[in-house]
Structures are given as C-alpha cells and as structure tokens.
Amino acid sequence: MDNQFSLQVKTDLNVLPSVLTWFNANHPAPIPENIWIKCQTALAEGLTNTIRHAHRDLDTNTPILIEVSVFTGILEIRIWDHGPAFDLTQQLATTADVIDQNQIGGRGLYLIQRLCDDFSYSRSADQQNCLLLVKHFDPM
C-alpha cells in the first residue's frame, strides 16, 4: 500500500486550514482514524513551528514543502523548510516534561514527541531542514 503525496505552501499561518483539508482528503482507508488524527495534529504542530520559528525572519513567499508517505504499517510526514539550522536534541532537553496548561505556545515539540513513534530533524546539503514525523499502525 505505498502511497505518496505532497503539497507546497507559503510561510503563512493562514495556510493551516487548507493543509489540514488536503491531508484529510488523502487519508488512506487502511489507516485507523485515531492514528490519522494523531498524525494530523503532529503535522499541524510541525507546520506551525516551521512558520513561527524556522521561517520567522523569512519572506511569506518562502516555500514549505510537506511530503506524506504511507507504507505498510508506517506513515511518514516530512516538513521541509529554509530556516537556519536547528538543534532538536538541545531544544528537547530544554522542553519541560510537564507543560503549564495556561502557557501560550511552547508545546509543539512536546506534542509531536508524544504523538509520533519517532521524529527527527536533519539538514540537507542544499541547506534545507527536514522534520521527519513517523507513526506506526496496524495495517489490518
């Protein structure tokens, strides 16, 4: 059941509803709804972080590429950006294990870490960043 789809968007938080609509329109039937919702939430957090942090000082026309790959029992989401290098390990080390429920912001990586089975960050040779989100599911 290999399936891949991608979308390029601008650096603008207003694209989030259309990204989620696009993501939901591509929901492969074998992926359980609860898994899909976790992935949808992780995608929203990852994209929001990219726009707010990685692309904070970039023009709104700077593209962000979202790639989704579905394999037997695995869903992968890649969010590609053009921001500065980022130390995910360091950021996770400074993220509190207990989040203040009244806090505004600062929960994106915390949520992604709990929603995904694995996630990582890498920097490509052409100076792009890739946030990889991985979720396993029972292929039924």
Model confidence pLDDT, tens digit, residues 4-13 = 999 999 999 9
pLDDT, greater one: 32 or 2: 32
Query: Is the sign of the CA dihedral 19, 57, 79, 43 positive or negative?
Result: negative
Percent of the residues in the chain that have a pLDDT greater than 90, as a whole number:
75
Domain 3-136, architecture per CATH: 2-Layer Sandwich (3.30)
pTM of the shown model: 0.88
Q: How many angstroms separate the CA atoms of 25 and 3, rounded?
A: 13
- Residue 58's CB is within 10 A of a number of other CB atoms, namely 16
- 105: pLDDT strictly greater than 80: no
Q: Please, what is the average pLDDT of the chain?
A: 89
What percent of the chain shows pLDDT beyond 70?
A: 87
Which residue type occupies 67? E
Locus of tokens 């994209």:
47
Q: Specify the residue for token string 């891949």.
A: 4
Residues 12, 51 contacting (CB under 8 angstroms): yes
Question: Which pLDDT tens digit goes with each residue over 26-80?
Answer: 998 889 999 999 999 999 999 999 999 999 999 999 999 999 999 999 999 999 9
Structure tokens at 80: 């590609």
